[in-house]
Structure 1
Amino acid sequence: MANLDLDDLLNARSLGADLPLKVARANVRQCRFATYSHSFEAFGQNRIASGAGFVNIAEPRGSHFWLQAMMGPRFIAPRMTTGKHGGKSTTFMADDAQLLPFVAECKANKINTVLFFGVVNDSISTLADTDRLIANITKISKAITDAGILFVITDDLPAGPGSTTSYTRDAAKLAGLNRYQRWAMFELPNLNPLVLAVPVYSKFVSRTGTTGVPADNSLFDAADLMHPNVKGHARYALEIYKVLDKLFPQRVNLSNIDNAGGYSATLNKRGSLIGNGMFDGDNGSGRATNWGSGGPAAGLTATMSKLTDPDGTPVQQVAITGTATAVGDFQFTRTSGTGNFEPGDTHYGEAFVLVKKSDAATGYLNLRGLIVQAACSHSSPTANYNGQAGNAIANDPFPTDLDWSQFNEGRGLYFRTPEEIIGSSWPATTPFCQLTIKLTIEAAVATDIVMQVRQADWRKASAASGF
């Protein structure tokens, strides 16, 4: 038999007949996703203070953000359901006090896919260590698969080299890691057809290396050289995407396939909350009808234009060139009527966004961050009901080596904000509702970048008083 690549063997095994057949028979069309993990994922899912209120953020330093972006509308992480245990071992994660509430939350949110990773904080130097690790993950996987949920496990996302030598693995640790990896990739999937093993370790650590520590520090946070950064999470998620892409049918159009399905207080409360989500028309400056724009920073020039996809879908484009004198943004905005919302509504924004060099560029691409935000805010009382996908993180730019056009049939990455619930204090003084799509450029760096936006939308996942 020919010597096949290990990754090919593992993928062939984990994607055997049982799992795709089970998914197909269940007629599963949407991957409803959660993670069970340590701090590597915790950085990606935050609810943090933002000015006078709060914003629910799906950070690009998390696998769920990149899987959402790559998979498109067939993927959703509702309300960022997650179990995240910074600094904790699998013994803690396997405890019923942590595990059972997580499974219950998954059931309540109709989760059908859970990604697990949580090995970095475990001792792995002895047989007893790895026996305990294997027992813990066996228990975790059983609790999740017994609930009918697909359990995705990787062969470790290694900690970076660290600011000290604390994450350097000696021979005993590497032996324990290898024992665990072989079990997780080859033995655990035999216990239940809902276990899906995805190898990713070799994407970070060279197979010919002997230290178990990644040589490429650019994949890890510059401050601690331990946690994966935006680029590291994108690389990790890409391998998982390649597998999930085979299981869940592609669906690249959003629910507003035209401009006719707008919000109606009496007939369609879950219709589009913005007019012209299809970016139709031209206001004379290359910007779609009724859309606003702002920026860019001093030193940059923004040129807007309208394109059309082969299927007739309008495309809003902006090309930005120059060198910014300070970190700055360019944004497209569209407001919604404040009376379109009521307490108890759950809302989210979404859009396809493609970023690339200009067609004629031979030089630079400069992308510090990108944000899609659905904001319902007011000044009094001080509470905002905002959801945000993406971010602009200092010293942690979006990867510029990722070809966005490979996803969603050329439409680019799919940004979907976490679902936010409108609170009981809405409406209040000076309410304001806006969908924002914002590109952030680094200062003092030559820039030649193009952003294309397709099919933006803002809808209610559920309406407080019916459809």
Structure 2
Amino acid sequence: MDATAAAVTYGKKDLLSFVTLGDSRTQFNGNIRQEDVSGGGDAITKLDRGYMTWAQVLLRQRMRWIKNGGVGGDTTAMMLARTDALLDLNPGWLIGFGVINSVNSDVPSATIISELGQIFDKCAARGVKVVWGTDWCSTSTNTIARKSALYGTNEWLRQQVGVRPDFYLADYATAIVDPTTGTPYAALASDNLHQDGPGGLRMARQLVKVLSPLIPPSDRLIVSNLDTTNLLLNGMFEGDGGTGRATTWASGTGGTATYAKVARTDGVPGFWQQVTVSGATGSRLREDLLPGVAGSWVEGDKVRFEIEFETDAAGWNASQFYAGIQVFGATGILHATDCVHSSGTAAQTDRPESGICRTPAITIGAGATTVRVYVTLVGDGTYRVARARLFKATYLPPQCVD
């Protein structure tokens, strides 16, 4: 199929959009769409153990995530069977990872390589770029045959960079594996297979090394409180009131918090809102939005929250750092968060230096009385935020309005 025919068949492509494909370790990026929430849950959560979740933050949300195609327990054969459905969403990229379930099911490397090759060929036929990650052993990778399948597949993946156009390798194994055991360091994956928060962030840094030179900078952040796409009252954190905290922004409870306005020195006009917390147990920076205010939200709006941040290494002793939306008074989905901690997993002890958090889209349900946006650091540390926006999802391309 030539390029013209492909364009007619598959439609105009958003070159900065992507889908993810993989097993449970990709599934652990969390939910990115409201319809993906199951079991009566009330939250859409991108998780802090997710390598793609953190990569998006570190990339400053330059790419647009259409669907998380991670499924727990999937083999490469199962991933191959699901590839066409993901490609039908017409992404610019497929970002994938995971062969361990095939390896530990005694599938030989030749079969795994054949299945991966078919996935990559399908992507190439549709003009979709690919990033795939190297994998690691688990405690069940305990025979010579299984180890041979794993390392043989990793070696083949490394070779594909030189023979497949638009194929890129994220070498996660190099960043996360204990060379003595072949499994991830316990501090990065407490069960020696599934990454926890620190492992997810380390994987993300490997992925960002690959993607950052290939994706044009495009923050899309506000530059003024006059921006009519912003439903917040003071996204630029203007004013002070003698507290060091910008007007309209409030402090929560739990631990102590000190606020200061800090002039930016990076060429961007305006100020950082600095927050230093000690013993924090919840959000210490939030803005509440009531209905009926001109230019604000109404029931049925589908909205996202985004905010720029940077952190200080000195004094950082945090177990969680995330941003979110909470809807009060309604029923159904009430929370949307970016990089929220995954309950029951090891704390996120690594520090994200800077980036942009952006929540999944959430529909404001009937009966809503307040919409709150917030930033939470649990523990001790100093962070600065700026250029916050609560915006309707219609300001993103149609395939990303989830």
Amino acid at match of 2:74: K
Q: Which residue of 1 aligns with 2:273?
A: 316
Q: 1:378 to 1:143 in 2, by over 3 A?
A: farther
Q: Which residue of 1 aligns with 2:236?
A: 278
**Whole-Å separation in 2 of the counterparts to 1:45 and 1:151:** 21
Amino acid at match of 1:203: A
**Whole-Å separation in 1 of the counterparts to 2:340 and 2:103:** 34
After TM superposition, the structure 1 = structure 2 runs for residues 280-299 of structure 1, keeping only pairs within 5 Å, are 280-297=238-255
Amino acid at match of 1:131: A
Q: Which residue of 1 aligns with 2:98?
A: 118
Aligned partner of residue 282 in structure 2, secondary structure: strand
- The reply on whether 1:349 has 2:305 as its aligned counterpart is yes
Q: CA deviation digits over 1:205-259, x for unaligned, max 9?
A: 356x4x5333x210113xx34211011111111111011111112234x431111
Q: CA deviation digits over 1:54-109, x for unaligned, max 9?
A: 2111111112211111000312324xx121221121112212xx2222222x32xx
**Whole-Å separation in 1 of the counterparts to 2:108 and 2:311:** 45
Amino acid at match of 1:440: V
**Whole-Å separation in 2 of the counterparts to 1:63 and 1:246:** 18
After TM superposition, the structure 1 = structure 2 runs for residues 148-167 of structure 1, keeping only pairs within 5 Å, are 148-156=127-135, 158-160=136-138, 165-167=139-141
Q: Which residue of 2 aligns with 1:204?
A: 176
**Whole-Å separation in 2 of the counterparts to 1:347 and 1:159:** 41
Given the alignment, which residue of 365, 369, 374 partners 1:436? 374
**Whole-Å separation in 2 of the counterparts to 1:39 and 1:285:** 45
Q: 1:77 to 1:304 in 2, by over 3 A?
A: same
Q: Which residue of 1 aligns with 2:156?
A: 183
**Whole-Å separation in 1 of the counterparts to 2:43 and 2:64:** 18
Q: Which residue of 1 aligns with 2:348?
A: 398
Q: Which residue of 1 aligns with 2:143?
A: 170
Check whether the contact 1:63–1:237 (CA below 8 A) recurs between aligned residues. yes
Aligned partner of residue 112 in structure 1, secondary structure: strand
Q: CA deviation digits over 1:30-58, x for unaligned, max 9?
A: 732321010011122135589x9621111
CA apart distance, 1:368: 1.4
**Whole-Å separation in 1 of the counterparts to 2:113 and 2:166:** 17
Q: Which residue of 2 aligns with 1:145?
A: 124
Which ranges of structure 2 fall in alignment gaps of 5 or more residues? 1-12
Given the alignment, which residue of 338, 356, 370 partners 2:291? 338
CA apart distance, 1:272: 0.2
Check whether the contact 1:373–1:436 (CA below 8 A) recurs between aligned residues. yes
Q: Which residue of 2 aligns with 1:461?
A: 393
- The reply on whether 1:73 has 2:31 as its aligned counterpart is no
**Whole-Å separation in 2 of the counterparts to 1:100 and 1:205:** 32
**Whole-Å separation in 1 of the counterparts to 2:326 and 2:64:** 19
Amino acid at match of 2:264: D
Aligned partner of residue 330 in structure 1, secondary structure: coil
Q: Which residue of 1 aligns with 2:4?
A: none
After TM superposition, the structure 1 = structure 2 runs for residues 21-170 of structure 1, keeping only pairs within 5 Å, are 31-46=16-31, 54-78=42-66, 81-95=67-81, 98-104=82-88, 106-107=89-90, 111-123=91-103, 129-156=108-135, 158-160=136-138, 165-167=139-141, 169-170=142-143
TM-score (norm 2): 0.84
Check whether the contact 2:100–2:150 (CA below 8 A) recurs between aligned residues. no
Q: 1:49 to 1:174 in 2, by over 3 A?
A: closer
- The reply on whether 1:219 has 2:188 as its aligned counterpart is yes
Q: Which residue of 1 aligns with 2:8?
A: none
Amino acid at match of 1:320: V
CA apart distance, 1:343: 6.0
Q: CA deviation digits over 1:405-458, x for unaligned, max 9?
A: xxxxxxx12101012345xxx4x33532121112122xxxxx4x2121111111
Check whether the contact 2:299–2:368 (CA below 8 A) recurs between aligned residues. no
**Whole-Å separation in 1 of the counterparts to 2:168 and 2:326:** 37
Q: 1:285 to 1:59 in 2, by over 3 A?
A: same
Aligned partner of residue 277 in structure 2, secondary structure: strand
Given the alignment, which residue of 220, 229, 237 partners 2:204? 237
**Whole-Å separation in 2 of the counterparts to 1:383 and 1:56:** 11
TM-score (norm 1): 0.73
Over the aligned positions, Cα root-mean-square deviation in angstroms equals 2.8
Q: Which residue of 2 aligns with 1:255?
A: 221
Check whether the contact 1:378–1:384 (CA below 8 A) recurs between aligned residues. no
Q: Which residue of 1 aligns with 2:6?
A: none
Check whether the contact 1:174–1:212 (CA below 8 A) recurs between aligned residues. no
Larger mean CA deviation between 303-312 and 140-149 belongs to 140-149
Check whether the contact 1:125–1:172 (CA below 8 A) recurs between aligned residues. no
Q: 1:429 to 1:205 in 2, by over 3 A?
A: closer
Check whether the contact 1:30–1:248 (CA below 8 A) recurs between aligned residues. no
Aligned partner of residue 116 in structure 2, secondary structure: helix
Q: 1:395 to 1:101 in 2, by over 3 A?
A: closer
Check whether the contact 1:124–1:177 (CA below 8 A) recurs between aligned residues. no
Q: CA deviation digits over 1:245-278, x for unaligned, max 9?
A: 11112234x431111113xxxxxxxx10002101
Q: CA deviation digits over 1:301-360, x for unaligned, max 9?
A: 321111110233211111123xx4xx71232111234354456643210011222245xx
Check whether the contact 2:19–2:86 (CA below 8 A) recurs between aligned residues. no
Structure ID, larger Rg:
1
Check whether the contact 1:41–1:61 (CA below 8 A) recurs between aligned residues. no
